[in-house]
Chains A and B, each alone.
Chain A
Amino acid sequence: MSYSFLRIVREALRGDRGWRPAWRDPAPKPHYDVVVVGGGGHGLATGYYLATEHGLANVAVLEKSWIGSGNAGRNTTIIRSNYLLAGNEPFYEHSMKLWEGLERDLNFNTMVSQRGVLNLFHSDAGRDAAARRGNAMRLHGVDAALLDEAAVRAMLPWLDFDGARFPITGGLLQRRGGTARHDAVVWGYARAADRRGVDIVQNCEVTGIRIAGGRVQGVETTRGFIGAAKVGLACAGNSSRVAALAGLRLPIESHVLQAFVSEAVKPLIDTVLTFGAGHFYISQSDKGGLVFGGDIDGYNSYAQRGNLPIVEDVAEACMALLPLAGRLRVLRSWGGIMDMSMDGSPIIDRTPVAGLYLNAGWCYGGFKATPASGWCFAHTIAHDAPHRLNAAMRLDRFASGALIDERGAGAQPNLH
C-alpha cells in the first residue's frame, strides 16, 4: 500500500477504514541469511539496504522491546555533515545525500528539513577552527559558509551578541544540515524493509550468540534459537553487553545523554544553532517546542535518566546564548544510553568471529548517520568487507593507532 496525497483523499472519503498496519508482526523463522540485532534506526536501515542494495530478503531485525524505543526515539534529531577528518566526512556526506532522497526512497514522510546548522564562535581562535573545518568540508565537496557577526545578526537578531564573556563573533553554517523526524525515520525504514520481505521481530531479546569453530551459527533469544549465516550487531548503548555474548570486549563505555523540550512558542529559531563556548545545541520543532541538549552526564550509565548538574549546565549555556529562553518552561526531559567509543568515532566492521559484524560506538552523533550507517553496514555484511566509506571505522584501529579522534581528547569519553 503506497502512501500518497491521492490515497489520503481516497481513505478520507471512505471513513479512513482502509489503512493497514505499516509492517507485519511475524514470528521468527528458524533460520535467516542475516540476522540484525537491534531495531533502532541503524538496524532497520541495515535490513532495508540488505534487501534493496544486495538482494537479500531472508533477513530479520530483532528488537528486544519495540522498534525505536532506544536512542532512535530519544535524540534531538540534528542531521549534518560538518566533520573535520577524512575518516568521517565522506561517510557523513553520503548520509546527508541519502537524507536528501529518503522520503522518495522510503515512500514515507520523514520530515527531513534542511534548515541549516549554524555553529557559533566567540573568539579569534574559534574563527580559525571554524575556517579550518569549513575548508576541510569544502575539500570534500560539502557546503560550508563562514559567517561574520553581521551575517549572524541578520539571521538571529535576538542572540546575546555582546555578552562580556562570550561575545558572538560569527559562525560556520552548513545550509544543507537540519533536522528530521526521528520516529518517522524508524517507521519509514521498518515499513520499507518489511515491504521487501525483511522480518521485523519485536519483543525478541538476544540473550546468546552461538559460535562453532570460530563461526557464528545464530542467536539465542527470548523467543528461542534463531539460526543465521551472518549476524550484525546494531545495539547502540548496549553494544558492550551484546558483544560480550560473543566473548568480545569493546573500546566502549555506555553513557547517558539528556535532552529537553520547552513549551511551544511561535516560530523563533529557523535553523539548528550551537554554542561555541560550551556544549549546547538547540532547534525548534514543528510543534513549536524548543528542543535542546548539551553534554553527556559523564559517568558510566545504563539508567536512561540523568542527574541535575547537567540540567543546570545546559540551562546556563542556554541563558548565555539566548537570554529570552529564561522565560520559557521546560516541558519534558529524558535520557538515552549511548555507546561512547574511545576516540569519539563509530565502528562499522567485521569482528574476530567469522560471520559476526559490529555497528557501534555512535556517541552523540548516530542519528544523522542512520542512512549511511545502514547502507555501509549492509555492504560490509553482504560482501564480508567494508565499503570505502566506512573503511576507516575499524574495530582494530585502537591497536593499529589509526584513530579518528575529532576532538583530540584521547580515551576519555566524557571529554569527547
Chain B
Amino acid sequence: MRIPCPHCGMRGSEEFSYRGAAGPPPPAADAPAASWHDHVYLRDNPFGPHRELWHHRYGCRRWLVVTRDTRTHDIAGAVDASAWQPPA
C-alpha cells in the first residue's frame, strides 16, 4: 500500500503511522459525558470509503487525511490535515 503524500509524493505505507477515522473535532470540554463517550469509543467502521488520519512519521511529519476504501485498500487521495474540513 502506498500513500500519495501531498508534500513528499508517493511513499510506502510503512513510513506512516495510522491514527484512525478522521472525524469531527472533539466535543466541548463541558459537553455531556455521553458526547465524549461517543467521540472516544464509538466508530462508524464503514465498509467502503473511509477518511482517516495518517502521520507521515518518517517523512515530512505532517498529519494527512487519506481517503481509502476498506474493502480494497484503494487510496483515492490524501490531503494535509490542516486543509481538510470534516463534512458538516
Contacts and interface: CB of A to CB of B under 8 A. Distances in A.
Interface stretch (B23-31, B43-51, B76-84): B43-51
Given A300-B70, A302-B70, A303-B71, A399 B37 contact: yes
B13 A250 contact: no
Interface residues of B, number: 28
A302 B37 contact: no
A79 B57 CA distance: 36
Contact of A398 (B18, B37, B52, B71): B37
A302 B72 CA distance: 8
A309 B10 CA distance: 16
A240 interface: yes
Interface residues of A, number: 26
Contacts of B42: 249-251, 398
A302 B43 contact: no
Contacts of A249: 38, 42-44
B70 A399 contact: no
Given A309-B12, A399-B33, A240 B70 contact: no
Contact of A250 (B43, B46, B47): B43
Given A250-B43, A399-B34, A307 B70 contact: no
Interface in A292-316: 298-303, 307-309, 312
A251 B43 contact: yes
Nearest to B71: A302
Interface string B48-81: 0010100000000000000010111100000000
A209 B18 CA distance: 33
A309 B18 CA distance: 13
B20 interface: yes
B40 interface: yes
B59 to A, nearest CB: 15
B70 A301 contact: yes
A380 interface: no
Interface string B1-39: 100000000001110011111000000000001100110
Contacts of A253: 20, 43, 45
A309 B14 contact: yes
B4 to A, nearest CB: 16
A251 B41 contact: yes
A301 B49 CA distance: 10
Contacts of B73: 301, 303, 307
A24 interface: no
A312 to B, nearest CB: 8
Contacts of B37: 398-399
Given A307-B13, A309-B12, A414-B18, A300 B40 contact: no
Contacts of A342: 40-41
Interface in A391-413: 398-399, 411-413
A381 interface: no
13 contacts: A240-B44, A249-B43, A249-B44, A250-B45, A252-B43, A254-B70, A298-B18, A300-B45, A300-B52, A300-B70, A398-B37, A411-B41, A412-B20
Interface of B: 1, 12-14, 17-21, 33-34, 37-38, 40-47, 50, 52, 68, 70-73
Given A253-B45, A300-B20, 19 more contacts: A238-B47, A240-B43, A240-B44, A249-B38, A249-B42, A250-B43, A251-B41, A298-B17, A299-B68, A300-B70, A301-B70, A301-B73, A302-B47, A309-B14, A312-B14, A398-B40, A399-B33, A399-B37, A414-B18
